[in-house]
Structure 1
């Protein structure tokens, strides 16, 4: 599991606004699920050592079976490091009986000033082998587009 998946997008909002969207429960439910999914957070503890449990549901499960059930991906996310307003590091563990989805993936969200906006770079390390790289990077790009739409209207 030494593969690295990533994505970058410039968002027309200041780093403080983007950072806040990374640590707001309702905001995450809105923008984090990639296209074709919706999300619900069950537990929430936004501090280093805390985290959240998110249930991602496929709108059309026939096109992409879930990791946790036919229609869902359930993920336990821990906040490994919070460095406002520059970085959020998350550890993510999928609930799955399939060993191809086992292990802890690290998601690092780096924020840097880019003119009047923020360049957001997402880097995923230790990606489980069952997650296809092209699909994962498309999902990251979709979440970044959702984040842009969310943050740019604040």
Structure 2
């Protein structure tokens, strides 16, 4: 029997063109305005959005706790798709994958985020909460479609 590897998929409809939403994922100054759960803010963001390029984001919680995420882009297809690895600096051996698909709809863009290859269900649950709040912040930035 093959073990099921936990994953999550979230969908949002945003009132902005796919190119603007793609920029929100790939331009550090825009990403810093929405990335992370509600109780965090982006302290640093470095993004090289090309296949083989790397990203690094440092979040700081309201409590002062710092968290660093980094990864490498496997696919960059503006303004439709991003695929990148994801690892926390405190657990570099636990690499997961994020796929972001942007689809134009009449009202703007439908964003489908899939985060997979989690080590366990608890990790998937924590990431679901974080991505839900991040996508809520992204939707607030542009408006819901």
1:30 counterpart SS class:
coil
Are 1:104 and 2:95 matched, yes or no? yes
- Retained in 2: the 8 A contact 1:34–1:140? yes
8 Å CA contact 2:13, 2:109 repeated in 1: yes
* In 2, Cα distance between equivalents of 1:110 and 1:43: 21
TM-score by length of 2: 0.85
Q: How does 1:114-129 map to 2 (within 5 A)?
A: 114-129=105-120
Q: Is the 8 A contact 1:6 1:140 kept in 2?
A: no
In 2: Cα distance, 1:124 partner to 1:3 partner: 9
**Dislocated runs of 4+, deviation >6 Å:** none
Distance 2:124 2:45 in 1: 27
Equivalent in the alignment of 1:140: 131
For the aligned residue pairs, the C-alpha RMSD in angstroms reads 2.1
Identify unmatched segments of 5+ residues in structure 2: none
Structure 2 SS opposite 1:31: coil
Gaps of 5+ in 1: 62-70
Structure 2 counterpart of 1:9: 12
TM-score normalised according to structure 1 size: 0.80
Aligned residues: 140
The whole-number CA distance in structure 2 between the counterparts of 1:42 and 1:120 is 21
- Give the match's secondary structure for 1:43: strand
On the 8 A contact 1:93/1:105 being kept in 2, the answer is yes
1:87 and 1:113 map into 2 onto residues whose CA distance is 12
User: Is 2:78 the counterpart of 1:84?
Assistant: yes
